[in-house]
Amino acid sequence: MPQLQHPTATENITVAKLDLTEKMTPVEMRATLSLASIYGLRMLGMFLILPIFAIYASTLPDKPSSLMVGLALGAYGLTQALLQLPFGMASDKYGRKPMIYAGLVIFAAGSFIAAVAGSIEVIIIGRAVQGAGAVSAVVSALVADLTRDEHRTQAMATIGVTIGIAFALSLVGGPILNQWIGVPGIFALTGVLTIVAIFVVRFVVPDPVHSHYHSDASAAPARLNDVLGNRQLLRLNYGIFALHAAQMAMFVVVPFAIVSASGMHENQHWQIYLPVVLLSFVLMVPAIIYAEKQAKMKHVFVAAILLMLVAQLMFSGMIHFFWGIVAALTVYFVAFNILEATLPSLISKIAPAAAKGTAMGVYNTSQSLGIFVGGTAGGYLSHAQGLASVFIFCGVMMFLWLLLAITMQAPMAVRTKMYSIDQPSGEMSEDAAKLLRSELVKLAGVVEAAVLPQENTVILKVDKSYDWDDAQVYKLLRG
């Protein structure tokens, strides 16, 4: 491996040269797919009840109010928001797999509590316990431990796609499963699948050779000020909060509205969701490609928020008409899928190179809080002010988001490059790191550079329009 003797440093630095044509190793692929499946199963368990739960809850003996139904839908968001960052940090101390085991056991316990519940109060407790098994950050950290830097983005993207598929499947699978096993059965099935996931972690997911903090995948308290003080990131955090608050509020109302407007049994609602979701995916793909290829991310992003606002207005005005609901759902899911895909990309582009993991942690916490607030507010408003008021509330959130998005800075069209540095003599010194960074930022096409001595990693943000060649980095590192 090439050696570099820095002029002002005393240590030698070995640069691990990357073969960019090299694919993931079998171990990396197994780790990525198995952890993505665990993530997907967990989210599927969360989502499966969304299209049917409100109607099921209305049949409970205690006849719960809409507020209680909304609390049951959103309760897991609150406990997840409170515990996902602590879970991730605890995994740095106690190990990734032990914390994943603990989280999955808690999640399974919550699922079984909800399955045997005879009242809405017990279901709320079960949902809150489900959320307390907040292993998302730990799974991300384990992915980082088991993949090389140059393949980590691909691994994380695989997990992101899995979550999207889980959500789409839940809208179709929830009503179908409901006619076979009912909502209690869905909760019980979720618990069983979670137990299966524990065995997958034990026997399929590889054991990491060494676990350590990864700035691109894990949150760090020391970086919180950098993230919370960034106004551009705060705009995005509000956005994911509003997006998922509206999602949860919608599912308090829409199942009832479909039954009332069409007479369709809730078990048949998949016949609406399936074509709507498929069409939304077809329309989403060109928009994402255009945004990335033409560096028009802000334009597409703002247009999608405007589309989401239109969807909320359509819901508020046509919630009592079947084809109006179908049209609103179509517009909603097109906007939702575009926003769900672009928001993480924007976080990656805007977050400081050395604080991406922390930025994503705050972002995920904001999302979970939105789930809680949306479920609670949707339940209260639908009971106190009527169905349309829920979407007026969501429309106000979207209008505020639109104002924030219009005034945000257009993100630079950048891509992230990561390079591992093997340090034979131990951790790179701060002086050597500063020197290396000063030379990296001088390279043509480099927008931002971070040298992380504790991780022996270099992170570059590179202008997408520049014909980037990794050889210039290696040339610099060889001196």
CA atoms within 13 A on the CB side of 437: 21
Say if residues 163 and 364 touch (Cβ distance below 8 Å): no
- The dihedral over CA atoms of 255, 261, 263, 265, expressed in degrees to the nearest 10, equals -10
pLDDT at 44: 87
Q: How far is CA 21 from the centre of its chain?
A: 28
| pTM listed for this prediction | 0.91
Higher pLDDT, 216 or 312: 312
d(CA 396, CA 65): 24
Residue 55's pLDDT band, with cuts at 50, 70 and 90, is: very high
10 has pLDDT over 70: no
322 vs 459 pLDDT, higher one? 322
Count CA atoms closer than 13 A to 80's CA, side-chain side: 32
Confidence label for 22 from pLDDT (cuts 50, 70 and 90): low
- Taken as a whole, the chain contains a residue count of 479
Cα separations (Å) of 196 from 10, 27, 34? 52, 21, 12
* Residue 5 pLDDT exceeds 50: no
Instruction: Report pLDDT digits (tens) over 232-260.
Output: 999 999 999 999 999 999 999 999 999 99
User: What average pLDDT does this structure show over 32-46?
Assistant: 88
Give me the chain's average pLDDT, please: 89
pLDDT, tens digit, for every residue of 157-189?
888 889 889 999 999 999 999 999 999 999 999
pLDDT in tens, 105-153: 999 999 999 999 999 999 999 999 999 999 999 999 999 899 887 778 7
Residues 256-304: tens digit of each pLDDT: 999 999 999 999 999 999 999 999 999 999 999 999 888 899 999 999 9
Mean predicted confidence (pLDDT) in 25-44: 90
Structural domains of the chain ordered from first start: 20-213 (1.20.1250.20), 219-411 (1.20.1250.20), 413-478 (3.30.70.100)
User: What pLDDT does residue 221 have?
Assistant: 84
The structure tokens listed for 465 are 């329009």
Does the pLDDT of residue 424 top 70, yes or no? no
Mean pLDDT of all residues in 313-332: 96
Q: Residue 374, Cβ neighbours under 10 Å: how many?
A: 30
Where does the pLDDT of residue 196 fall: very low under 50, low under 70, confident under 90, or very high at 90 and above?
A: very high
Residue 464: pLDDT band by 50, 70, 90 thresholds? confident
Q: pLDDT tens, 347-398?
A: 989 999 888 899 999 999 999 999 999 999 999 999 999 999 999 999 999 9
DSSP β-bridge partners for residue 461: 416, 448
- Comparing 10-19, 296-305, 320-329, 335-344, the range with the smallest average pLDDT is 10-19
CB 319 within 8 A of CB 311: no
Residue 426 pLDDT: 60
Please tell me the predicted confidence (pLDDT) of residue 422. Answer: 64
